[in-house]
Amino acid sequence: MFKISEIKELIELLDRTSVQELELEEEGARVVIRKGSRIDASALQAPMMVQQPQVQALPAQTAAAATVPAQASAPDESLHKIVSPMVGTFYSSPSPDADVYVNAGSRVNEKSVVCIIEAMKLMNELLAEVKGEIVEVLVENGQLVEYGQPLFLVRAE
């Protein structure tokens, strides 16, 4: 069985190359990583729950294609998007027992830390880079995020 940390490493490595697809099989488990593809985590049959939209972890005998439905509502185009500058794991607070950096309704300025993105065991603080109000947090704590993926919507002042 594949460990989540191993899958994260493979995603990061694939992201830095021109390779579009990687498929591995080990002990009856199969992992397929494709750039630009999406899956529905509820369709996963393996015991691990992978939240990364690029990863498909299915038992070797299962060949069902899975897709993630598009968001129900289109975001307001006047809102500023704070996007992930890298592939990694999103953390909403500096530690598991600490308060979150921001919630919907929080006021931020250009120097406000809004989250941490962990990549290759390094914790990277992400700044708002805009003054305004957080309208929506688009990802969950502990979720794997992609380069350029919107994380927050901000009503800029």
Task: Quote the CA–CA distance of 137 and 101 in Å, as a whole number.
Answer: 11
Same-domain status, 38 and 100: no
Tally of domains within the chain: 2
Distance separating alpha carbons of residues 49 and 147, to the nearest angstrom: 21
In a shared domain, residues 54 and 95: no
Which one is predicted more confidently, 117 or 71? 117
Contact 24, 30 (CB under 8 A): yes
Write down the pTM of the prediction. 0.53
Is 90 exceeded by the pLDDT of residue 109? Answer: yes
Q: Is 70 domain-assigned?
A: no
Q: How many CB atoms lie within 10 A of CB 11?
A: 21
Q: CA angle at residue 139 from 31 to 125, to 5 degrees?
A: 100
Residue 151 is assigned to a structural domain of this protein? yes
The whole-number pLDDT of residue 25 equals: 77
Domain that holds residue 14: 4-59
Say if residue 80's pLDDT is above 70.
Answer: yes
CATH number for the domain spanning 117: value is 2.40.50.100
Cβ contact 118:11 at 8 Å: no
Q: Is residue 142 part of a domain?
A: yes
| Whether residue 150 has pLDDT greater than 60 | yes
Residues 28-77 have pLDDT tens digits of 777 777 776 444 444 444 444 444 444 444 444 433 333 344 444 455 67
Residue 72, domain member (yes or no): no
Coil, strand or helix at 155 = strand
Q: Which of 60-69, 108-117, 124-133, 134-143 has the lowest mean pLDDT?
A: 60-69
The percent of residues in the chain predicted with pLDDT above 70, rounded, is 73
Strands 122-127 and 150-156: unpaired
Residues 88 and 149 in one domain: yes
> Does residue 114 fall inside a structural domain?
yes
Query: 84 and 151: one domain?
Result: yes
Asked whether residue 64 is assigned to any structural domain, the reply reads no
Residues pairing with 66 in the sheet: none
Based on the fold, state whether residues 94 and 140 are members of the same structural domain: yes
Residues 96-120 have a mean pLDDT of 94
Residue 19 has pLDDT above 90, yes or no: no
Do 91 and 53 share a domain, yes or no?
A: no
In a domain, 65, yes or no: no
